[in-house]
């Protein structure tokens, strides 16, 4: 018979709630959170300024516009998540265990967007006198909201919804769902509907970001989206959605590509389709680099040169009047020419350099990228052979024509008008699908596992009988091939190919530095990570033109913060999460587990 001492019994009893950052009574903090969120939400239906000089027209009552819409979304989500922490029936699934950290992230995003708007109005219009009562209500309510959230109990492992102890909690308890147990599995059709809804929401969020007409609105979008994603992650919704996507992988991939196909049909301006086309080019090249860096672990700092090889090869056979070859290949032959040229260059450059490792390999690939740019600049008939027209490049590249379908002309499909960039967007979407398929097949193959082994420890991989040099050369050649394929489309989209497009560092991507940053930012070794990273790194310079003088500074600060708080990237696989967040200590059994074992 086992006796239990009072000290051991106390250890087994669940600990009380951990106080928040501010020492506030729990009831006061919760009511301040609810009241602040409701007040901030209602303030968006009031005018925030009296003049339309501030973009977004924040002068109309009962009709939110511009940044007010983002504040409205943030306040509404904060209110919903705050109610879910109380176990309200139908909302408890948002924050299992009554976690308060998702509410904190949403409240912080709402507060930051609200005060950014108030400060921007004051700075742009010249003083606090330009603020209407709605702006003052929003500022005060968001401050109350943040204060209340900071007073909520902090999350603890195994945090659960606590029983009612006060009058207002007993009142809310009548609306609460039953105590959660093991969740009942949803039918397959319901899981597919959830995946479709998630993809649709993602498309709407992405389209809204591309369609932001001015920089202030895009800044607010980044703040709300960033804190919203952090809240979703802390609530565990991303893990549950990932498990559903893993069970219905083919449905998820099909839904993602259908949503991407619908994107140009939902845009009212061809300018937004232009951004989409360039983002896909950038993202496709980043996925190719992900094969080299993410899977094989080869630090390539001159990868943009392979994009240039494919673009120049396609431009020379495009039928441009400035081409020194003077031939015009059909589309499929031009693509194969760009792919073949990049493959050859990848093998020629990789064969002598891949015997190096680490920093030495990075320096050599960086040198190759600069050699390519300088060589293309010198092939002007004076400093070298007349092949590329030197600094002038190859302009007037004609539009592609596929089976009589000219991508440079407007076409009507299913009643929707598709312009030039919408056509190239859809073509690039097909190429992106091919690259995603190649990446996934490579990652899941025997060769992909060998690449990962080389990336983790090349010496151990060689000891296990892996031919490291041959496999690294295959990764280098495959990455170059994928970049060359994207380059063939880039040459026709941009009308011209010049050496200045392929520098190591340039304010406007794609370039080698931004490509590598897109892979690291999004998450090495994943499919969706480089796509998200490329989209962010292309959109931010395009939308924040009013901060052009500080773009590289802000970019560096963002990378430092990312490496500090999320070194595995925005989308990371399980291996990277364990690698970057491992404490280096053995797991210690919990007291509850020890008590069950009779210890």
8 Å CB contact between 440 and 250: no
Residue 170 in domain: no
On whether residue 579 sits in a domain, the answer given is no
Same domain for 488 and 389: yes
| pLDDT classification of 263: cutoffs 50, 70, 90 | confident
Residues above pLDDT 90, as percent of the chain: 22
Whether residue 490 lies inside any domain: the answer is yes
> Are 271 and 379 part of one and the same domain?
yes
Question: What is the pLDDT, as a whole number, of residue 509?
Answer: 65
Mean pLDDT, range 454-482, rounded to an integer: 90
* pLDDT computed for residue 98 by the predictor: 64
Span 7-31, pLDDT tens digits: 444 444 444 556 667 888 888 888 9
Tell me if 2 is assigned to some domain.
no
Residue 13, both tokens: 């009893």
Question: What's the confidence (pLDDT) of residue 8?
Answer: 43
Query: Is 226's pLDDT higher than 80?
Result: yes
The residue that leads in pLDDT, 415 or 78, is: 78
Q: Does one domain contain both 318 and 410?
A: yes
The parent domain of residue 478 ranges over 267-574
Do 346 and 438 lie in one domain? The reply is yes
Q: Based on the fold, state whether residues 231 and 378 are members of the same structural domain.
A: no
Average pLDDT over residues 511-530: 84
Q: Are residues 234 and 298 in the same domain?
A: no
456 shares its domain with 524 = yes
Q: Is 339 helix (H, G, I), strand (E, B) or coil?
A: helix
Integer Rg of the chain from CA: 28
For residue 33, give the nearest of 105, 122, 127 by alpha carbon: 105
What average pLDDT does this structure show over 213-227? 90
117: pLDDT strictly greater than 90 = yes
Domain end among 225, 242, 259? 242
Whether residue 531 is predicted with pLDDT greater than 50 in this model: the reply is yes
> pLDDT tier at 157 (50, 70, 90 boundaries)?
low
Q: What is the pLDDT of residue 586?
A: 47
Nearest-angstrom CA–CA distance, 436 and 424: 18
CATH of the domain at 532: 1.10.3470
Is residue 179 situated within a structural domain? no
Confidence (pLDDT) at 27: 85
Phi/psi of residue 413, nearest 5 degrees: -125, 120
Residues 448-459: tens digit of each pLDDT = 899 989 988 888
Residue partners of 143: CB distance under 8 A and separation at least 6: 36, 111
Is residue 75 domain-resident? yes
Q: Give per-residue pLDDT as tens, 293-314.
A: 888 888 888 888 999 999 999 9
User: Is 542 inside a domain boundary?
Assistant: yes
Element (H, E) at 114: helix 101-125
**Regarding beta strands 411-413 and 405-406, do their DSSP bridges make them parallel or antiparallel, or are they unpaired?**
unpaired
Residue 546 lies in a domain: yes
For residue 149, which of 97, 71, 82 has the smallest C-alpha distance? 82
- Number of neighbours of residue 113 by Cβ within 10 angstroms: 27
Half-sphere exposure in the Cβ direction for 556 (13 Å, CA): 5
Query: In which residue are the tokens 């705050």 written?
Result: 82
Q: Which residues contact 403 (CB under 8 A, 6 or more apart)?
A: none
More confident position, 161 or 41? 41
pLDDT at 172: 43
- CB neighbours of residue 65 within 10 Å: 17
pLDDT in tens, 158-195: 444 444 444 444 444 444 444 444 445 778 888 888 88
As a whole number, mean pLDDT of residues 479-504 equals 88
Say yes or no: 116 and 230 in one domain.
Answer: yes
Overall domain count for the chain: 2
Given 177, 208, 242, the domain boundary residue is 242
**Contact at 8 Å (CB) between 347 and 477?**
yes
Sorted by sequence, the CB contacts under 8 Å of residue 464 that are 6+ apart come out as 453
Assign 112 a pLDDT band (cuts: 50, 70, 90): very high
Q: Are residues 235 and 272 located together in one domain of the fold?
A: no
Do 43 and 91 belong to one domain? yes
Beta strand pairing status for 405-406 and 401-402? antiparallel
- Indicate whether 442 and 477 sit together in one domain: yes
pLDDT of residue 546: 67
Specify the pLDDT at position 164: 46
Supply the DSSP symbol for 294.
Answer: I
Q: Same structural domain for residues 237 and 325?
A: no
- Average pLDDT rounded to a whole number, residues 201-226: 88
- Both tokens of 240, joined, read 């549950």
Q: Of the residues 208, 242, 276, which one is the last residue of a structural domain?
A: 242
Average pLDDT over residues 320-346: 89
């Amino acid at each position: 018979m086992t006796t239990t001492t009072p000290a051991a019994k106390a250890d087994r009893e669940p600990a009380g709630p951990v106080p928040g950052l501010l020492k506030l009574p729990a009831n006061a903090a919760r009511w301040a959170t609810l009241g602040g969120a409701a007040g901030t939400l209602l303030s968006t239906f009031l005018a925030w300024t009296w003049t339309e000089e501030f973009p977004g027209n924040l002068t109309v009552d009962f009709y939110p516009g511009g940044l007010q819409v983002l504040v409205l979304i943030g306040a509404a989500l904060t209110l919903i998540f705050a109610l879910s922490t109380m176990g309200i029936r139908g909302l408890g699934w948002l924050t299992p265990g009554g976690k308060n950290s998702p509410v904190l992230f949403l409240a912080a995003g709402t507060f930051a967007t609200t005060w950014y708007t108030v400060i921007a109005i004051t700075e742009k219009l010249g003083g606090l006198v330009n603020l209407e009562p709605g702006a003052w209500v929003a500022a005060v309510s968001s401050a109350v909201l943040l204060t209340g959230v900071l007073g909520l109990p902090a999350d603890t492992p195994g945090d659960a919804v606590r029983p009612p102890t006060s009058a207002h909690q007993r009142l809310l308890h009548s609306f609460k769902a039953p105590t959660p147990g093991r969740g009942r599995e949803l039918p397959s059709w319901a899981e597919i509907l959830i995946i479709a809804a998630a993809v649709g929401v993602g498309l709407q969020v992405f389209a809204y970001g591309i369609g932001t007409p001015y920089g202030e609105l895009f800044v607010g979008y980044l703040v709300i989206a960033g804190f919203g994603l952090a809240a979703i992650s802390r609530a565990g919704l991303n893990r549950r959605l990932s498990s559903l996507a893993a069970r219905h992988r083919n449905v998820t991939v099909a839904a993602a590509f259908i949503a991407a196909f619908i994107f140009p049909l939902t845009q009212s301006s061809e300018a937004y389709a232009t951004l989409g086309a360039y983002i896909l080019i950038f993202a496709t090249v980043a996925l190719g680099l992900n094969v080299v860096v993410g899977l094989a672990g080869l630090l390539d700092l001159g990868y943009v040169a392979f994009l240039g090889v494919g673009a120049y090869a396609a431009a020379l056979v495009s039928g441009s009047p400035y081409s020194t070859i003077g031939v015009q290949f059909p589309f499929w032959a031009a693509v194969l020419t760009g792919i073949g040229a990049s493959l050859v260059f990848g093998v020629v450059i990789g064969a002598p350099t891949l015997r190096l490792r680490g920093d030495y390999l990075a320096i050599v690939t960086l040198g190759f990228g600069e050699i390519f740019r300088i060589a293309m600049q010198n092939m002007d008939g004076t400093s070298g052979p007349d092949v590329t027209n030197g600094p002038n490049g190859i302009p007037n590249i004609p539009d592609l024509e596929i089976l009589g379908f000219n991508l440079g002309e407007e076409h009507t499909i299913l009643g929707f008008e598709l312009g030039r960039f919408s056509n190239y967007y859809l073509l690039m979407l097909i190429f992106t699908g091919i690259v995603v398929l190649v990446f996934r097949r490579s990652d899941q193959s025997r060769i992909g596992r060998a690449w990962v082994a080389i990336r983790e420890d090349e010496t151990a991989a060689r000891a296990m009988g892996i031919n490291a040099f041959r496999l690294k050369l295959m990764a280098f050649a495959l990455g170059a091939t994928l970049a060359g394929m994207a380059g063939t489309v880039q040459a026709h989209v941009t009308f011209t190919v010049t050496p200045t497009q392929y520098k190591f560092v340039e304010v406007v991507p794609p370039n080698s530095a931004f490509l590598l940053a897109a892979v690291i930012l999004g998450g090495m070794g994943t499919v969706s990570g480089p796509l998200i990273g490329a989209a962010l790194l292309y959109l931010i310079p395009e939308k924040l033109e009013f901060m052009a003088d500080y773009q590289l500074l802000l970019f560096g600060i963002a990378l430092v913060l990312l490496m500090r708080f999320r070194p595995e990237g925005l989308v990371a696989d399980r291996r990277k999460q364990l690698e970057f967040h491992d404490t280096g200590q053995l797991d210690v059994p919990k007291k509850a587990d020890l008590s069950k074992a009779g210890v």
